[in-house]
């Protein structure tokens, strides 16, 4: 089937069965569990020593579309899930950003047509992506790149590939994927539930842009939109999806912590004193508790440096 950037027409299969299958790589294990979001539409959560990145799988009549194909470590359980859900090839892949825990799986499905913003492809081709050691293999780089919003048709759905209003957010190559009829938004690493996010300042990200794009999510999408976090709950907590109300509360909570750090900076408190103090106000201790991606100390350091650089500028 030929692919046109603005229209891919496929039909929907009816039945899929979720699985949880372990994988091993160098002694490390990964598992995968799933949550059905609609007919042939699944949220998949990996669980491994490297983390718990999310993948979304949408089944059409002759294959799957994936959003964020996950870690190489999760390849075996991901393939097992797809076999149980229809035993069809992966036809298309869209990626929310270039970080390896969301994109390493591009190498697992080299025959799929992959889609990404121009800047994201550049990062995949030149950055330390796979386990932080090397770029994605050339054969797995995105096939179709764009620098404006794109709309696709797949499996009876309208799928919007949306560039954020601020191109400097989590990274400088972020992408949001919105399934209109299902009202499901794949938000990548803008949503971590009650954990601190990573803002990749070394690869085009910015704190202001991150917050602007979070507020855009809240304002842009219907209140009943279901938001797929880049990293959701950790096992043994139940796999789940976020609401727009939760995203709004998350943004407001982050802004409160940033305002507190800004206030300490303006009072002349130095970074080392602030980052290592043991009497942090809530929600800093709670959000920095394990399991996590960023500790409260790392969040303080990240925000403090960004604010100090902003003041210097």
Domain definitions of the chain by residue range: 23-244
The whole-number pLDDT of residue 28 equals: 75
Please list, residue by residue across 290-299, b when 16 or more beta carbons sit within 10 angstroms of its beta carbon and e when fewer do. Answer: eebbbbbeeb
The whole-number pLDDT of residue 6 equals: 35
The whole-number pLDDT of residue 1 equals: 35
242-243 sheet: strands from edge to edge? 150-154, 157-162, 176-179, 184-186, 226-228, 242-243
Asked if omega into 236 is within 30° of 0 (cis), the reply is: yes
Residue 227's contacts (CB-CB under 8 Å, 6 or more residues apart) are 184, 185, 187, 191, 217, 241, 242, 243, 244, 246, 247
Query: Among residues 179, 155, 178, which one has the least CA distance to residue 9?
Result: 155
Which residue has 């750090």 as its token pair?
261
Strand partners, 45: 33, 54
Using alpha carbons, list the distances in angstroms from residue 81 to 66, 75, 193, 256: 12, 10, 25, 40
SS3 57: strand
The whole-number pLDDT of residue 122 equals: 98
Residues of the chain with pLDDT under 50: 1-25
The whole-number pLDDT of residue 43 equals: 98
CA atoms within 13 A on the CB side of 53: 25
SS3 134: strand
- 200's tokens: 């990749």
CA atoms within 13 A on the CB side of 148: 2
Compute the C-alpha angle 219/223/229, nearest 5°: 80
Q: Are 161 and 149 in contact (CB under 8 A)?
A: yes
Compute the C-alpha angle 222/223/229, nearest 5°: 90
**How high is the mean pLDDT of the chain?**
91
Handedness of CA 238, 97, 156, 60 (dihedral sign): negative
Pick the CATH number of 23-244 from 3.40.50.970, 1.10.10.10, 3.60.15.10, 3.40.190.10: 3.60.15.10
Alpha carbons 307 and 51: distance in angstroms, whole number: 28
The whole-number pLDDT of residue 26 equals: 55
């Amino acid at each position: 089937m030929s692919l046109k950037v603005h229209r891919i027409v496929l039909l929907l299969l009816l039945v899929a069965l979720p699985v949880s299958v372990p994988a091993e790589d160098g002694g490390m294990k990964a598992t995968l569990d799933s949550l059905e979001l609609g007919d042939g539409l699944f949220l998949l959560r990996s669980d491994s020593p490297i983390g718990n990145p999310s993948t979304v799988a949408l089944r059409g009549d002759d294959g799957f579309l994936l959003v964020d194909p996950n870690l190489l470590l999760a390849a075996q359980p991901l393939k097992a899930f797809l076999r149980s859900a229809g035993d069809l090839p992966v036809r298309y892949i869209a990626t929310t950003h270039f970080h390896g825990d969301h994109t390493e799986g591009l190498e697992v499905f080299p025959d799929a047509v992959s889609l990404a913003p121009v800047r994201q492809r550049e990062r995949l081709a030149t950055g330390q992506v796979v386990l932080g050691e090397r770029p994605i293999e050339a054969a797995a780089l995105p096939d179709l790149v764009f620098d404006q919003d794109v709309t696709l048709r797949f499996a009876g759905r309208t799928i919007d590939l949306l560039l954020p209003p601020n191109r400097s957010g989590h990274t400088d190559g972020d992408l949001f994927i919105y399934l209109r009829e299902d009202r499901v938004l794949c938000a990548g690493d803008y949503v971590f539930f009650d954990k601190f996010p990573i803002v990749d300042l070394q690869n085009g990200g910015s704190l202001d842009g991150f917050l602007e794009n979070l507020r855009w999510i809240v304002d842009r999408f219907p209140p009943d939109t279901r938001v797929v976090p880049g990293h959701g709950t950790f096992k043994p907590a139940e796999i789940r999806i976020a609401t727009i109300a939760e995203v709004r509360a998350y943004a407001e909570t982050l802004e409160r912590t940033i305002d507190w750090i800004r206030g300490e900076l303006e009072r002349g408190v130095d970074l080392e004193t602030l980052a290592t103090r043991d009497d942090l106000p809530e929600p800093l201790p709670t959000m920095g508790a394990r399991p996590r991606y960023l500790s409260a100390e790392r969040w303080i350091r990240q925000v403090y440096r960004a604010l100090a650089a902003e003041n210097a500028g």
